[in-house]
Amino acid sequence: MSVLDRANKVALSGDDMVEALGVVNDLPPEDRRSMQARTVRLLQHFEGTGRPGFYNAGEVVMAIEFRFWALAKLHLTEHRGLAGWILPTGDRFDYVKDELLSVAATEPLVEIDGRVAFDAESFIDHLLAISEEHGRA
């Protein structure tokens, strides 16, 4: 099984992604950009949580990191249409709407040009469907 397949098998929720984002945002600014610092802190946070599907904190953290990378790639390089779901605050981090993290938690990861990614069209369709359900599309 490929690393990407393993990451896709980890059952995450939008709440898990919100929680992980909070853990990362609580790091000192210089550590937020360090994959090593983020990984260590997320491992410490998720180890032994006792949640179903979270028996292997390393797999959970890998899946979370991959999903954050794919979301950043989608937002920064492929699809500026996410701007309505990510609002700059001028603070330590931007405000990210819950629907965006819910989709990032469940949308299948794919490989595009040798990098982990989301299929942009599928992601946006999923995001619009969830937002419409909540009356926010």
In terms of Cβ atoms closer than 10 Å to its own Cβ (0-12, 13-18, 19+), residue 90 is exposed
Distance (Å, whole) CA 66 – CA 28 = 21
pLDDT digit string, tens, across residues 39-54? 999 998 888 666 665 5
Predicted TM-score of the model (pTM): 0.82
Alpha carbon separation from 135 to 92, 128, 130 (Å, rounded): 28, 10, 9
Strands 115-118 and 109-112: antiparallel
Closest C-alpha to 74, from 45, 52, 100: 100
Question: Could you report the per-residue pLDDT of 60-79, keeping only the tens digit for each?
Answer: 999 999 999 998 887 766 55
Confidence of residue 128 (pLDDT cuts 50, 70, 90): confident
Average pLDDT, the chain: 82
